[in-house]
Structure 1
Amino acid sequence: MTSLITETVAARLDLVGATARGQDLYAGAGTDFYDRLVGPDRAEVREVLALARAVPGPVLDLAAGSGRLTVPLVRSGHHVTAVDLSADMLARLRGAVPHGATVECVVADMRDLALDGRYGLVILGATSITVLDREGRARLYAGVRRHLDSTGVFALTVAGRASADRLAVTADREIVVPGSAGDEPYLFAQQIEDDGAVRVVNWVRLADIAPGAEVPVLTSRLHVLSPEILADELVAAGFTAPRISPVRTPVPGEILLLTASPSGDRGGAR
């Protein structure tokens, strides 16, 4: 299946004669929803700030989005370069950064990094590694390695065992997302494809589902990855075997933090 509209959402709309209008979760109107969905989430912030205090040099925040990690970093006095493929997301980030803070926003594909200088810390939070396929991850690792100081640290997060099981099964449920006029109910639909390697996710505002309507459906396609897969890939790409530690969350082990440094042989990266 190549459609980003799940079978559940398509069937729900068919019942009332509505049609789906797919919308990238990370662009346009999707940026507002994404910001409302994850903006209040403080997971990883504590761990990222601790890493930034321990590792000298500027920080590179990949898939920075609207600044969930960038803003706390710059507020703590760190020089941050924020990279995101979405100009809409970075526009929101610029609006959230305190006046006078040292931050550079770069619209770029994190798979093809070509920035000036090196960084003491490169971070990829919010389990954003899952948006990349195997080839994309290999390109990312090579670019990160080129941009890290020799003693720098690459930090990324992935779902832990506590949440991995529910990410590997088709599921549909109603969720509530904060809005400017109060909480809004959405249908969340997750469809598993490619023998469990990929999940297609949709969010539809229930109030938009009406007879004959063209209904906006926010979409994303994510890869199901384990910390073991990522650890093996990092070593193969020329990093040290990563340290794996839990991120403090209400459910212990829900998110894991992997930290690795370039191995001694930079010529071995591929």
Structure 2
Amino acid sequence: MTVGITESVAAQLAEFNAVPRVQDLYEGDGAAFYDRVVGSDRSEVREVLALARRAGGAVLDLAAGSGRLAIPLVRCGTRVTAVDLSADMLSRLEGEIAGNPLLDCVVADMRSFALERRYELIIIGATSITLLDAKDRIAMYASVREHLAEGGIFALTIAGTSSGAHLRVTEDQRFTVDGPDGAEEYLYSQQIVDDGTARVVNWARAADFVRNGTVTVLTSRLRVLDADILRAELVQAGFTDPRVYPVRASAGSDIVLLETSLRGEHRSA
């Protein structure tokens, strides 16, 4: 497999003698496309707002992206620090609620960020933890411990049983995606790699597949995880055994939220 391109997309490129233009799903054109696909998704929003009300303080939103969770939090009067490795994503967030004093955007890696305060709630939504491998997750847990206030809540989401099953198979689908010039058809391709522990995802506009053309292929690499894996990791990393419960999600999606906090011996570490 060409790095970042699934075998299925590579075969279609070869059929049209087309050249791929590989683009990270969260940078540049990819950031704009990702926002088109998930920006209106309200999954997790109700549950995160409830957590923020219960936590009663500032929120740290890791892998905040274009603000699917941060924006409703800020609009409800919550102070939010939005951290993302993609400046393009955070630029879209800042443009949506420009100048709001409750929002701070920080370009940083969720594995190794260093901020000047602790937070009553730290969240990782949209199953973004699957961007990290096991070593990276350990580093991220350590950073969360350093920034979680005493009695604070750490919450993250992952695909549930039914949705998780779809993330463990190689498949191709076609989706209609709304855009500034109307609806467009996109090829979605997923290939399972590394003995089933990861998946490579591609998005490419169907109309771009023309003979001798150039096709923009948006790509991402994600780990295949479930709630049981993350529960064990959180306990090992010094958190309480998390409460796991379903969240409201779009039709056909199955998402669960893991809610935890620091164990007593780690609160003053």
TM-score category, normalised to shorter length: over 0.9
Q: Quick check: 1:26–1:86 contact (8 Å CA) kept in 2?
A: yes
After superposition, what is the alpha-carbon deviation per residue over 1:35-83, rounded to whole angstroms, capped at 9, x for unaligned?
0010010000000000000002200000000000000000000000000
After superposition, what is the alpha-carbon deviation per residue over 1:81-120, rounded to whole angstroms, capped at 9, x for unaligned?
0000000100000011165341100000000020001000
Q: Take 2:250 and 2:18, find their aligned partners in 1: how far apart are those partners?
A: 38
94-103 vs 18-27, which deviates more? 94-103
TM value normalised by structure 1 = 0.96
Q: Quick check: 1:75–1:101 contact (8 Å CA) kept in 2?
A: no
User: Residue type matched to 2:87 in 1?
Assistant: A
TM value normalised by structure 2 = 0.97
Q: Take 1:124 and 1:94, find their aligned partners in 2: how far apart are those partners?
A: 19
Runs of 4+, deviation exceeding 3 Å:
98-101, 250-253
Q: Quick check: 1:192–1:198 contact (8 Å CA) kept in 2?
A: yes
User: Residue type matched to 1:165 in 2?
Assistant: A
Q: Identity, % of aligned pairs? A: 58
For residue 178 of structure 1, what is the aligned residue in structure 2?
A: 178
Q: Take 2:59 and 2:132, find their aligned partners in 1: how far apart are those partners?
A: 22
SS in 1 for 2:264: coil
For residue 148 of structure 1, what is the aligned residue in structure 2?
A: 148
Q: Take 1:114 and 1:98, find their aligned partners in 2: how far apart are those partners?
A: 24
1:134 equivalent to 2:134? Answer: yes
Runs of 5+ consecutive residues of structure 1 not aligned to the other structure: none
1:78 equivalent to 2:78? Answer: yes
Runs of 5+ consecutive residues of structure 2 not aligned to the other structure: none
Q: Quick check: 1:120–1:151 contact (8 Å CA) kept in 2?
A: yes
Q: Take 2:41 and 2:133, find their aligned partners in 1: how far apart are those partners?
A: 25
User: Residue type matched to 1:16 in 2?
Assistant: F
User: Residue type matched to 1:227 in 2?
Assistant: A
Q: Quick check: 2:247–2:257 contact (8 Å CA) kept in 1?
A: yes
What is the aligned length?
A: 269
RMSD between aligned alpha carbons?
A: 1.5
97-106 vs 230-239, which deviates more? 97-106
For residue 230 of structure 2, what is the aligned residue in structure 1?
A: 230
Q: Take 1:234 and 1:268, find their aligned partners in 2: how far apart are those partners?
A: 17
For residue 66 of structure 1, what is the aligned residue in structure 2?
A: 66
